[in-house]
Amino acid sequence: MKHEHRRDLFPGALEMMILQTLRRRPLHGYAIVQHLTHTSDDLLQIEEGSLYPALQRMLKAGWVQAEWSVSPNHRRIRTYTLMPAGRKQLEHQVSSFERMVDGIMRVMRPARS
Amino acid sequence: MKWIHALRHWRRVDAELKEEMAQHLEEKVEALIEAGMTAPEARTRAHREFGNATHFVEESRDQWGFAWLDDISQDLRYGFRTLRRSPVLTGVAALSLALGIGANTAIFSLIDAILLRTLPVRQPESLVIVRALTRQGTRDHFAHADYEWLRDHNEVFSGLVASSLWKFNLDVGDHKEKVTGELVSGNYFSVLGVQPFLGRMIAPDDDTAPGNHPIAVVSYAYWQRALGSNPQALSQYMRFGNTTLEIVGVVSREFSGESAGELPDFWVPLSMEPQLSGGNSYLHMRNVSWLDAIGRLKPGVTIRQARSSMDVLLESMRLALHYNPQSDYLASIGIEPGGGGFSSLRDRYAQPLVIVMAMVALVMVIACANVANLLLARATARRREFAIRLAIGASRSRLIRQLLTEACLLAAIACAVGLAVTQLMAHGLLALSHVDSLDVHLNVKVLAFAAAVSCGAAVTFGLAPSLQSRRMDSWSTLKLDVRSVGRGTGRFNLSRLLVTAQTTISLVLLIAAGLLLRTFLNLKELNPGFDEQHVVQANIDPSLSSVSAVTLGQQLVERLAAIDGVQSVSFSGFGFGAGSNRICCVDVEGYTPHPNEDKNVRVQWVSPRYFETLGITLVAGRDFTEADQRKAPEVVIINETMARYYFQDASPIGKHFAWWPTDPKNIEIVSVVKDAKYDNLRQQPLRMAYQSIFQHGSSPNFLQVRVSPQARRSLSAVMQDCRAVIHAVDPHVPIRTLNPLSTAVDRTLQPERLVAQLSVGFGIVALLLTSIGLYGILAYMVARRTSEFGIRMALGAGRSTILRMVMRDGLALVLIGLGVGLFAAYACSSLMASLLYGVQARDVTTFSMAAFALLAVGLLASYGPARRATNVEPIVALRYE
């Protein structure tokens, strides 16, 4: 039950998507999840809590920075900002992801045709 | 400190994560409600989509590598719970440890204050005390000429300083005040490396021609006290009669001279000695030794090298200064480590303190063994718990860590309690030893020591159950349950070993305590040679009196003798155990000394009736009279030891001698008195010569008042009267001490008394702890073998058989311990020999009494559990299964 949603994600995918999301503008946890679900048209259903270990990992690696502030609707939120190191990491991950997808596609195409 | 940072960070990460996630959920719930859900529905859905929050918090924390911190906090919490679950065991263990840690730390803080503290100077470790030694190895001082020669001709010191502590009468307005000053060589401050707080220090240039540099440097304390911390104090003057010194500097706050317990108010160049000594200058006297010396070793020179170079140096000095190589003065030069400066406390208490420290450390070992046994017993009781934990996947190292954590917790509690009692103990010890002016406040060194002892203890007793848990096999433990019958399990061997070791150590401690106690009792029984019970002694300072010393003495005798109940009064230059003495070299009529002979005798100046007052019997001849004064022919009274030494069986009365080989032998011996002790009770009888204090003109520093035993007046009542009388005769004369003479005698036994009291105390504690240990292990064994005893009794074994079985078990442990202990004590006995008096280090009586005491306690401790074993009802024991 618990791992049902994760089935579709490969290691590092969540991090890559978070980085991509943060590239547009700094966001807090809930907003990141909202963005991920909306842009994926609810195709990707991630367990929302799993966002936080990933964010901690990225904080420690220095890819993102966190800052507490108060949101327009008076909620204490922690906003994450993409750091240069994170931007570099994103480029790296995207390119390796593209290579991987490319590889998978090459394998899959002949079977369909 | 990295882990403290990590701990803080860990806490913050934890709190932030929890808040962040809570906010996330709330925001989601609100959004869902807005979308039309009911609140409970929204909450359920939000939680489902969020997932297991606790899991995510843990996972997030793990990202930072806090797993170990998490484990430790878990271990600590669990440890606390375990300790709280058995409060009695925890209490007993923590308390015995606390006492051990407290006692160890208290003794250590004394050792730190007396033995380890170094002078607040530059590189104290390279300082050495340089001493003139007599042929017998007793300590002497240097004459000024010797010091100068040594300073200029040695090759091992980068600097050699000389000093001498004096008391001065400072003119303050119209009266005089006692101040302590130190005459120092010009290089004193530069060699020691002491910086000025204000102004400048004394420099080598200030110590050249005599009387040329009337300057002084004052101590920080004196500057605060007497000069009101006035920065303008420089260029003020200090006046001593005809001599005036200009204050040129204040020394740094930390420095208070090189002698522990002495706090000089000021320092003055040696070259000012003729002006300050009032005409009787030592500076150019070759035969008066009065200077202490401290040297700073050149880099790379060891104490050993310095020592060997002194022998050669002394040879050339004798040649250069034309010394008679046979003379007793300066037979050799001694070099000792000098980083701590001079300290009479260190000289007196170094050995006792080291002995006591060793004892208290042994007591600590015994206490640790007890706690180890307690924890072992509990670990055995927790076998099931550990087996289950192992079975469900805990690693063995994790279990051992759990046990160690509990041990550390226990030690930490004990350490906190121990430190709290340390201060009390240390001050109690100071009170016991009549030592004041000693700083025993907790400092980093003492705290570090306490922490080290606690950690050491925790590892020692915490490891014992861990060792056993290594042998644990979860499956067999679960299968066998606690009912297993058997004696040869690991816990038993280890516990037995611990109890045997305790017995061994206790015996060694008891024997040492017995020997030290007998030493003290022997010393106490010694006859000082005078009647200390009925005499009151006052130590006064006559130099502040307005009348002459002799007049003051006579007035005091007259007035004191009139006090109700007083039988006789006298005065003298020195007092028993006061540390001051005068040694003279004599040349006796009709006696030819050997080439290497010690020609010295002790000299004491006394008034008429001194011997009567102190109860020293006049064997032959007459007492001094007031007619024995300056102009009369010089007469002396000698003691029996001196009479026997020079005249064997012939009568010495009417014989003559001289104080110096070249003088005419015209001093007449007029009588002989019985021997009396002089410095302490231990001392062998010395050759002594008494001079009339009127003839010599010395100050009446000590007054003796004999109270008639028939007078029915207490000594304290007489003492009060004495105080009043002395004050009435001259209010300017300060009374330094006023005590029954027995107090002065007792005081010289203080180190021995302290060691005897402490060692007996520690011996008893050791005995107690050992009996608790023995009782504990036997009681535990009996509980475990209940069913075995039941079966035996069902098969016909009598109660006495069971009793014997258990007692035999206990006695076996004690006897093995005794055997090893006797052997150990015998082997170590030479360490004690120098401390003992009137008892052999291998004294059979003491050895057997200690062994007997331990055996008796062992029997007593075994009897309880043995009785319990005999009370086992066979049927109950079997049903218990």
Residue B85 in contact with residue B345, Cβ under 8 Å? Answer: no
Which chain A residue has the Cα nearest residue B57? A53
Residue type, B534: H
C-alpha B820: how far from chain center? 30
CA distance A87 to chain B (A): 21
A70: pLDDT confidence band, cut at 50, 70 and 90?
Answer: confident
* Of residues A50, A57, A78, nearest to B56 (C-beta): A50
Lookup: tokens for B772: 């608790």
CA B657 – CA B650 distance, rounded (Å): 15
C-alpha B719: how far from chain center? 32
Name every chain A residue with its beta carbon within 8 A of the beta carbon of B26. 75
Strands (E), B11-149: 127-133, 139-140
Q: In terms of Cα–Cα distance, which of B756, B782, B767 is closest to B836?
A: B756
Q: Residue B500 contacts by C-beta under 8 Å, 6 or more apart in sequence?
A: B813, B816, B817, B820
Q: Does B50 touch chain A (CB under 8 A)?
A: yes
Interchain CB distance below 8 Å, A30 and B19: no
Name every chain B residue with its beta carbon within 8 A of the beta carbon of A72. none
CA B233 – CA B255 distance, rounded (Å): 19
Which chain B residue has the Cα nearest residue A79? B20
Which chain A residue has the Cα nearest residue B27? A30
Q: In terms of Cα–Cα distance, which of A33, A35, A37, A80 is closest to A56?
A: A80
CA A96 – CA A85 distance, rounded (Å): 17
Lookup: tokens for B707: 């109270």
> What is the side-by-side strand order in the sheet with A64-70?
A27-28, A76-82, A64-70
Write out residues 15-44 of B within 8 Å (CB-CB) of A. 16-17, 19-21, 23-24, 26-28
Lookup: tokens for B442: 């907790």
Q: Does A37 touch chain B (CB under 8 A)?
A: no
Residue type, B77: R
Q: Does B64 touch chain A (CB under 8 A)?
A: yes
Tell me the average pLDDT of chain A.
82
What is the gyration radius of the CA atoms in chain A, in angstroms?
Answer: 16
User: What separation in angstroms does the CA of B598 have from each of A105, B225, B668?
Assistant: 112, 47, 21
Interchain CB distance below 8 Å, B28 and A49: no
Name every chain B residue with its beta carbon within 8 A of the beta carbon of A53. 56, 59-60, 62-63
* Of residues B27, B51, B62, nearest to A49 (C-beta): B51
Interchain CB distance below 8 Å, B55 and A52: no
Residues of chain B scoring pLDDT < 50: 480-490
Residue B865 in contact with residue B779, Cβ under 8 Å? Answer: yes
Q: Does A62 touch chain B (CB under 8 A)?
A: no
Q: Which tens digit of pLDDT belongs to each residue from B96-120?
A: 888 888 888 888 888 888 888 888 8
CA B297 – CA B294 distance, rounded (Å): 10
Please state the ipTM of this predicted complex. 0.85
Q: What is the pTM of this model?
A: 0.71
Q: Does A72 touch chain B (CB under 8 A)?
A: no
DSSP state of B708: P
Q: Residue B483 has what pLDDT?
A: 44
CA B420 – CA B97 distance, rounded (Å): 13
Dihedral, B133, B134, B136, B140 alpha carbons, nearest 10: -60
Q: How many Cβ pairs within 8 Å bridge chains A and B?
A: 58
Interchain CB distance below 8 Å, B63 and A60: yes
| Cβ count within 10 A of residue B154 | 19
* B263 Ramachandran zone, left/alpha/beta (phi>0; psi -120 to 50): beta
Q: Residue B541 has what pLDDT?
A: 84
Q: In terms of Cα–Cα distance, which of B47, B45, B44 is closest to B21?
A: B47
Q: Does B51 touch chain A (CB under 8 A)?
A: yes
Q: In terms of Cα–Cα distance, which of B453, B430, B240, B279 is closest to B345?
A: B430
* Of residues A29, A30, A47, nearest to B51 (C-beta): A47
Q: In terms of Cα–Cα distance, which of B97, B10, B840, B26 is closest to B454?
A: B97
